[in-house]
Amino acid sequence: MEKIIGFRNILIHKYFGVDYETTWFIIKEELPKLKQTVEKILKELDNDIFFGAPNIQQLKTFKKDSVVYDV
């Protein structure tokens, strides 16, 4: 997670210091791995009855102060 945050900070704050070759490598090679990991975690949460985790639909839409936010 720290690497993701660090990379985001470089992209956002070092406009002219971004290494495009490294950025493209991360987009092509690392993001698909991250997506698979996140999907696996969400699937496990959806199936986690013991801990009473909310299902994915409940996580996608939640209410706060009578306003519905879609995530």
User: Among all residues, which ones are annotated catalytic?
Assistant: 8, 13
Q: State the DSSP code for 27.
A: I
Chain-centroid distance, C-alpha 63: 21
* 60 vs 54: CA distance, rounded Å: 10
User: Does residue 44 sit in helix, strand or coil?
Assistant: helix
